Structure 1
Amino acid sequence: MGRKAGGLYINPKSLGGLAKPCTKEMVTFLSCLSLNQNKDDKCERQKAQLNACMDAQTGKSKKPWGSINYHLQRLNRGRK
């Protein structure tokens, strides 16, 4: 199991340019909870924003064209 030696591979987690969805909303909600000693009723607006963002993300599917490593493997096969 694993990758073949000499193959092309990019670790997608090391790419800093890709942002996770709803990160900003989650951070604002958690900071509000921290400021208010975990009292959920004082952070209703932030909670609503986070829920709206998460609900918007459920309809989106994964990229239809595959991962970058899949395409690197395809290019490597054609090169040989």
Structure 2
Amino acid sequence: MGRKAGSLHINPKKFGSLSKPCMKETINFLNCLALNHNNDEKCVRQKELLSACTDAQTSKSRKPWGSINYHLQRLNRGRK
């Protein structure tokens, strides 16, 4: 699998990684797990904060009009 030579493509991982919304909560939860030998019963507060953060992010996770690469491919098809 690969892309055709000469086609337009933007790497969404490199372009969209400017903001990491729940990184602080994730690090806090993982540190708590490490300190308590993977016993998540002692990390309930951190787990709730991480769940709340991820739930808040799911509503704005994907734009309804599709990815930028899809639109670049459409424009490239029309150009030929």
TM-score norm. by structure 1 comes to: 0.68
Distance 2:55 2:2 in 1: 36
Distance 2:59 2:13 in 1: 23
Unaligned ranges ≥5, structure 2: none
1:49-78: per-residue Cα shift (whole Å, max 9, x none)?
112223334445621121111122233344
TM-score norm. by structure 2 comes to: 0.68
The alpha-carbon distance between structure 1 residues 13 and 63, as it changes in their structure 2 partners (threshold 3 A), is same
Unaligned ranges ≥5, structure 1: none
Task: Report the alpha carbon displacement of residue 29 of structure 1 after superposing the two structures with TM.
Answer: 0.3
Count of paired positions: 79
Task: Report the alpha carbon displacement of residue 8 of structure 1 after superposing the two structures with TM.
Answer: 0.6
Aligned-pair identity in percent equals 70
The alpha-carbon distance between structure 1 residues 68 and 42, as it changes in their structure 2 partners (threshold 3 A), is same
**Higher mean displacement: 25-34 or 8-17:** 8-17
**2:55 matched residue in structure 1:** 55
State the Cα RMSD in Å.
Answer: 2.6
